[in-house]
Structure 1
Amino acid sequence: MFKPISLFVGLRYTRARRSNHFISFIALVSIIGLTLGVAVLITVLSVMNGFDRELKNRILGMIPQATVSSTEILPEWRPLVELADKQQHVAGSAPFTQLQGMLTAQGQVAGILVSGIDPKFEKKVSIVQNYMTAGSLDNLKDGEFGIVIGKGMADGLGLQVNDKVTLVLPEASPSPAGVVPRFKRFTVVGIFSIGADVDSMIGYIALNDAAKLLRLPDGAQGVRMKLDDIFAAPEVASKLLNQLPPNYYASNWTETHGNLFSAIQMEKAMVSLLLFLIVLVAAFNIVSSLVMVVTDKKSDIAILRTLGASPATITRIFMVQGVIIGAFGTLAGAALGVLFALSISDLLGWINTTFGLHLFDAYFINYLPSYLRWQDVLTVVSISLLLSFLATIYPARRAAQIQPAEALRYE
């Protein structure tokens, strides 16, 4: 089979055993460095993508993505819901009333953010119904004073479905015994588990029960919205606010969790930059290995030149050798990185459980997420191959500049 001379000789040089074992060692280090750099970069990018996805799907699936609220209770909140549903990017809307307090049971106390909701509408804007481990949102009925809490809260207070729990509000009420906090007894009618910090922070009660606790008429404080584009939240809230009277105000998730999202994006960018530098260093190892090969093959180059090989042919011979080293290291790293990205969540979860570690306590979710994007794999592989190709240019041009007479003088 016909092969171009540059490809033929380049492949032979790549497979040939060298008398100078140090050169082979440098080439091996180049391949290993490139493999590890690419693998780690793909794995870390997948983990960062996992955190990004979990923030969007879980945290932002629980908290209001955009809200419009009134300074007064809204007895007739349905027209506001209908108006919100007509806005661009709004996938669903629901009424809410929000209050803060403390839950106390069995001598334990924990702070909680309670939302008064209508279960029928809440399912349009929240993922909580999909993560119920006991009970249901439908068990929240006006006047029955039921509460749905997260698994973290339930475990911390030692609660199960049908247990009683007391909600203490920060507002004080005068009584013959003096000023005492306002409190109300609730029954746990549901427990959800999102696998994030919200499991021990958020609770749900019936919409009108929340109004009664605040000593207000039946109704809602405002409307929360679920969006098909979370980054449109400020614009959507602002446009809806412009269609309402002056006693309304708006908020969105960027004001409450925007810093967390920005931190993830910044960490992803900085870690990617640092790991790309590792790939760059590995690519420069190709330069050193090829420079040594050129020095070792001076006589071979001189003979090829005397047989009629052009400087361009010599350049291509060593570029072939460098590109093969780069391609082998890159593809091996890509395969290893994809394998790690697909299995790292289960692997670290098993280590965390088996050895009783607390590896993820510092994060907003209680496990290590990983989300492999093939676009990232393609980008990393392309950049690594490009760096490997660029690393071959200097040694190959140096080889082409060798003069046959000078190289053979002392042979």
Structure 2
Amino acid sequence: MSVLKLFRPLSLSIGLRYAFASSNHRFATFIALLSMIGIMLGVAALIVVVSVMNGLEGELKDRLLSSIPHAVITTDRDMIAQDYDLSRIRDIKGVVAVAPQITDDVMIQGRNGIYGVSLFGIDPADYPDFDLVRASTGTKSFKSLVPRSFEIIVGWDVLDRLKNNVDDELRIISASYVKYTPFGRVPSQRLFTVNGAYSVGGMSSGMILGNIEDVRRLTHMQQGTVSGFRVWLDDPFEVGSFIEEVGRIDPKLTVKDWRVELGEFFQSVAMERIMMGLMLALIIMVAIFNMLSSLAMVVSSKVPEIAVMRTMGMSQSAIMKVFIVEGAISGIIGSVMGLILGLICVAYLDSILNVLGINLYIAAGGVGIPVQVKGLQVLMVLLVTIALSFAITIYPSVRAARQSPVESLRYE
């Protein structure tokens, strides 16, 4: 030990010397190196996959939930007074906009047939500028949705299926109101002109927008009432707490939210993220258990040295700390290197996949794989991995501390 100057605490000094000095037990050193590399790759892969899943979930949340309401405030009769006092609703935390609407499930007829869509009657003055549909269509098209204009805004994918384009006339058929004619009962219908189209990033858009008064005439909704009030939330995933607050304000109100249509889809996305995380966590666990086997072999090879340290006055707890430091150092270095490697891969993910020729997201028309690094998740991965690295060293360290110096030195 004279070659390397020791420092205090002594257990840390000896543990670091054992960790970085060349060992006679080359196989144990090789296993420890593989364990460190395994931890590094496992942590890096976990950070990359979790960041990509976060990005995809955020992208889906922005795209899919832009074409359906986050929440709709109404009553049991699906009808509410248009002048209902919304001041307390607007004050709820997380609410960013509220607007009246008249909704109906209708059939839209074009050159290529008839399709079912959802018709939303809106007031352009109340429709928020930040809405993705409005941003995609343009303010000019929204402002032209004036009463008796009988104009609508349609998704590009719907127009493609109908083989129609902007400025064409489409027939909208509503079964909410039925007229009696000499030929029998006929659903309410009218020709509307397409004045604009929107796209939500390749997602299916079964929502068409028209002026609220024009939709009222089509559906014969009673004057002074609307189907409900559409609510935009800062975080649609917090809709549960919003519903609770509405219940406290007015128990007579009913809230319909996006989970009715897309709840199961987002649950499956969240479950997929959890399962991917668990599978990658198993890679880290395998590497950590390899550390256990390598440290056990190291302890076996250093029995004489342990005996010498015991005879020189080192306590059992000090011996334990020596091997805890030696074993955990691989986990700490592997975790930190995995963190750095993972963040680098996330930052240059598109470039890396392009070099490998497997960037399917861009090949499908995307501008780049969406990634979202959450600091708390990354910190949790790092801390848990380091904690497991320390925990796995306890058994070999206890075994080393319990070595009897008399028995160990008897045949030396």
What's the TM-score once normalised by structure 1's chain length? Answer: 0.81
For the structure 1 residues 23 and 60, does the alpha-carbon distance in structure 2 shift closer, same or farther, using more than 3 Å as the test?
A: same
Distance 2:149 2:129 in 1: 23
5 Å-filtered alignment, 1:4-403, equals 4=8, 5-54=10-59, 56-69=61-74, 71=77, 77-81=82-86, 84-85=89-90, 90-123=95-128, 126-132=131-137, 136-170=141-175, 182-195=188-201, 197=203, 199-216=204-221, 220-228=226-234, 230-242=239-251, 249-344=254-349, 351-352=359-360, 355=363, 369-403=370-404
Contact (CA 8 Å) 1:233, 1:252: kept in 2 or not? no
Q: Secondary structure at the residue paired with 2:41?
A: helix
RMSD: 3.5
Contact (CA 8 Å) 2:106, 2:172: kept in 1 or not? yes
Contact (CA 8 Å) 2:6, 2:13: kept in 1 or not? no
Contact (CA 8 Å) 1:286, 1:322: kept in 2 or not? yes
State the Cα distance separating 1:325 from its structure 2 match: 0.2
State the Cα distance separating 1:252 from its structure 2 match: 3.0
Q: Secondary structure at the residue paired with 1:122?
A: coil
Distance 2:141 2:347 in 1: 33
One-letter amino acid matched to 2:403: I
Matched length:
398
Contact (CA 8 Å) 1:93, 1:124: kept in 2 or not? no
State the Cα distance separating 1:397 from its structure 2 match: 2.1
For the structure 1 residues 344 and 106, does the alpha-carbon distance in structure 2 shift closer, same or farther, using more than 3 Å as the test?
A: farther
Q: Secondary structure at the residue paired with 2:126?
A: helix
For the structure 1 residues 354 and 85, does the alpha-carbon distance in structure 2 shift closer, same or farther, using more than 3 Å as the test?
A: closer
Contact (CA 8 Å) 1:117, 1:204: kept in 2 or not? yes
For the structure 1 residues 236 and 54, does the alpha-carbon distance in structure 2 shift closer, same or farther, using more than 3 Å as the test?
A: farther
For the structure 1 residues 133 and 287, does the alpha-carbon distance in structure 2 shift closer, same or farther, using more than 3 Å as the test?
A: farther
State the Cα distance separating 1:351 from its structure 2 match: 1.7
Distance 2:240 2:303 in 1: 60
Q: Which runs of 5+ in 1 are unaligned?
A: 361-365
Q: Which runs of 5+ in 2 are unaligned?
A: none
Cα offsets for 1:25-45 (capped at 9, x unmatched): 311221122122222332333
Deviates more, 1:8-17 or 1:82-91: 82-91
Q: Secondary structure at the residue paired with 1:378?
A: helix
One-letter amino acid matched to 2:55: G
For the structure 1 residues 351 and 72, does the alpha-carbon distance in structure 2 shift closer, same or farther, using more than 3 Å as the test?
A: closer
* Percentage of pairs with the same residue: 33
Cα offsets for 1:111-131 (capped at 9, x unmatched): 211111001112179442233
Deviates more, 1:169-178 or 1:183-192: 169-178
Contact (CA 8 Å) 1:233, 1:253: kept in 2 or not? no
Q: Secondary structure at the residue paired with 2:307?
A: helix
Structure 1 runs (4+) greater than 6 angstroms displaced: 345-350
Q: Secondary structure at the residue paired with 2:242?
A: helix
Cα offsets for 1:21-79 (capped at 9, x unmatched): 422331122112212222233233334433554455444454323323354866x6134
